[in-house]
A = this chain, B = another copy of it.
Amino acid sequence: MIPTSLDWCQEQDRNDPLAPMKDRFDLPEGVIYMDGNSLGVLPKGVDARIADVVKKEWGQDLIKSWNTADWINLPARVGRKIAPLVGAKPNEVVMADSTSINLFKVAAAACRMNKGRTKIITEPGNFPTDLYMLQGLSDFLGPDVALQVVERDQIIDAIDDDTAVVVLTHVHYVTADMFDMKAVTEAAHAKGALMVWDLSHSTGAVPVDLNAAGADFAVGCGYKYLNGGPGAPAFLYVAERHQAAVKQPLTGWFGHKTPFEFLDDYEPAGDIRRMLVGTTSVMAASALDEAMNAFEGVDMMVVRKKSQALTDLFIALCREKLKDHGVGLATSENPGKRGSHVSLKCENGYAVMQALIERGVIGDFRAPDFMRFGFTPLYLGFEDVYRAVEIMADIFETGFWKEARFNEKGAVT
């Protein structure tokens, strides 16, 4: 039995080795923010850094800043900061574009490396943009390569000698179900398939070890647990062993061996920079660069332990306080098998979430009926979790959500 008393929660906060980390962020007053899995909060220092980028680097120094502020190396520099969070070598990660575009690049590159194989495997209910990008890719590749969408419990059996690449999201965006990265990667490799992991709902919240898993490629998001700001640049990983051979189709000048020689013929950079395409937003990149400092000295195993404790507590509190309200758990009860968010299934989930947000508890809603709550150990405490469930219980008990429901014309379906 997990203790669920307020006293116990407060004691956990007092003993929490990560409690001081909260000071690294500018949190809004009076809000319990449980949506860091969608958009991370503002790390301290980012506003000053961006003001400097705008007023000095851009406004005063203008094009000189490509060299003096080292804008040119931002993609690799930020990549090096992300690498340790995903178990990669410093030269295996680069910041670039959006998660969607990076997925296209690595999946296309994998199909090329496994030319002749006819299948891309993923799962239904994967994050939509992953499905969409793979649909676009297989459509573009013509009849030679087809996307096969396989239920997660049948994926390993579906991987065969015709499989070019398996593309999966490590932590599911709704259920938080987490794949065994090493086991699935090994199953793919056993059949000669390549493995792409989408780490969008993992990086910064769950320890990831791409090298130990033997992963070939990965992509991930900069604006969730990495707190890089809305629409922050994404990142991608290419295992060192593939870097000399990998060919991705978006061959832009920033992926060229010598972009500033302005040559007519494309020749890819010798390293992971060949995965770059065009010019990166320096503001967006600098925000993520600065945000990554919030992870300085943070042990991801300690983060994981707290994340599991917070999600365990949340589930126990929901079970205790919401038991009469028809709320179901859509996330695994086994803390080893879930990421750092929890989804509740609830018929009136949209309206209840609106009511929660009005009362300062920020989670989000995912169709058709999931309320999703993120647990970001660097800035969420145990008492926060207690208060959030207490408010949710009050919303159910007072029927407050029903009002919200009828105020939101047509929004609840």
Residues of A within 8 A of B (CB): 26, 28, 31, 33, 35, 38-39, 41-42, 46-47, 50-51, 54-55, 57-66, 71, 97-101, 104, 108, 124-126, 128-129, 131-133, 135-137, 139-140, 142, 149, 223, 229-234, 248-256, 259-266, 277-285, 287, 357, 362, 364, 366-367
Decide: B252 and A129 in contact? CB cutoff 8 A.
Answer: yes
Contact residues in B for A57 (Cβ distance below 8 Å)? 230
Contact residues in B for A101 (Cβ distance below 8 Å)? 97, 101, 250, 252, 277-278
Contact residues in B for A63 (Cβ distance below 8 Å)? 35, 38-39, 362, 364
Q: Apart from A41-B62, A50-B283, A97-B98, list 13 A-B contacts with CB within 8 A.
A: A33-B62, A42-B54, A47-B54, A47-B55, A63-B364, A101-B252, A128-B262, A129-B253, A135-B266, A230-B282, A231-B284, A262-B366, A283-B284
- Contact partner of A249 (CB less than 8 A), chosen from B58, B129, B140, B364, is B140
A396 to B: closest C-beta gap in Å: 23
Alpha-carbon gap, A57 to B140, bound state (A)? 38
Closest 10 pairs between A and B when the two form their complex, measured CB to CB: A98-B278, A136-B251, A100-B278, A100-B252, A281-B284, A129-B253, A42-B59, A230-B282, A140-B249, A132-B266
Most buried by B among A41, A100, A283: A283
Alpha-carbon gap, A59 to B33, bound state (A)? 11
Contact residues in B for A58 (Cβ distance below 8 Å)? 39, 42, 229-230
A167 to B: closest C-beta gap in Å: 14
The number of times this chain is found in the oligomer is 2
Decide: A278 and B35 in contact? CB cutoff 8 A.
Answer: no
Decide: A39 and B62 in contact? CB cutoff 8 A.
Answer: yes
A357 to B: closest C-beta gap in Å: 7
Contact residues in B for A131 (Cβ distance below 8 Å)? 264-266
In the complex formed, the residue of B with least CB distance to A142 is B142
In the complex formed, the residue of B with least CB distance to A267 is B132
Alpha-carbon gap, A132 to B100, bound state (A)? 21
Decide: B249 and A132 in contact? CB cutoff 8 A.
Answer: no
Contact residues in B for A26 (Cβ distance below 8 Å)? 55, 59
Decide: A133 and B100 in contact? CB cutoff 8 A.
Answer: no
Decide: B65 and A42 in contact? CB cutoff 8 A.
Answer: no
Decide: A229 and B54 in contact? CB cutoff 8 A.
Answer: yes
Decide: A266 and B51 in contact? CB cutoff 8 A.
Answer: no
Contact residues in B for A232 (Cβ distance below 8 Å)? 281
Contact residues in B for A98 (Cβ distance below 8 Å)? 97, 252, 277-280
Contact residues in B for A362 (Cβ distance below 8 Å)? 62-64
Contact residues in B for A223 (Cβ distance below 8 Å)? 279
Decide: A231 and B124 in contact? CB cutoff 8 A.
Answer: no
Most buried by B among A31, A33, A136: A136
